[in-house]
Amino acid sequence: MNRVSLIAGNWKMYKTVPEAVATAAQLKEAVKDISGREIVIAPPFISLHPVSQVIKGSNINLCSQDVFWEEEGAFTGQISPGMLLSAGCTYTLIGHSERRQYFGETNETVNKKTKKSIDQGLKVIVCIGEALEEREAGKTFSVLEIQISEGLKGLTPVHMDSVVIAYEPVWAIGTGKTATAAQAEQAHQFIRGKLKEQFDTGVAEKIRILYGGSVKPDNIDQLMAEKNIDGVLVGGASLKVDSFSRIVKFT
């Protein structure tokens, strides 16, 4: 199965609106000749629409960093899938480890957000991954299995056409530590196997699984050489155009 590589940049809580617009304009220029792979950026909510205007018609897709599971209502501070679509988004991140760690995200809320987003027409990047103590206790695979089974519960193979999985070992996010390419490949292989069990071979072979966790220009080529790594979710290195464009141009 020939899966199109996906390189996503999560800008987290960085960049004012003018900074986000300027970065998007520079990135658009830097990657304009790149084809055969998908490029996605996730600025903060307030920059989504202005950035969408900058990248309109380019080879860059827009992604939000979170979403809510209702279409509208008295949910102060929340943003619905329809609002994201109207702001120019194609994708949303769901279940990022920082949302789980600081904001009470659970596998259940990941599931609700995923279903609603897909039903409303958004594609989703669902994040899963284990903490350091879980890895050291040998629980990596059991944690991933629960996050997959509960987070994707009730989804159909048709729903899964709109899903990308991002494996982000929590111990490697923003720490400078990176899972080796072999460690990442082992986790991706396990995830693909679980998707085959939960859905079918077609879903497992078609779905893209990204690696996230201290991805940098100096480790991107090794990571992307692995059979089951279909792309990356980049944090800090996506904030600078030169480093992110180098990652997009992996060989």
Active site residues: 96, 168
Q: How many helices (H) and strands (E) does the chain have?
A: 12, 8
- Residue 120's φ and ψ, nearest 5 degrees, are -85, -10
H helices of the chain, in order, are: 17-30, 48-55, 81-86, 97-102, 107-120, 132-136, 140-151, 157-160, 181-198, 201-206, 220-224, 241-248
β-sheet bridge partners, residue 61: 40
First to last CA, the chain: 19
Q: What share of the chain is helix, strand, coil (3-state, %, to 5)?
A: 45, 15, 40
Q: What is the DSSP letter of 94?
A: E
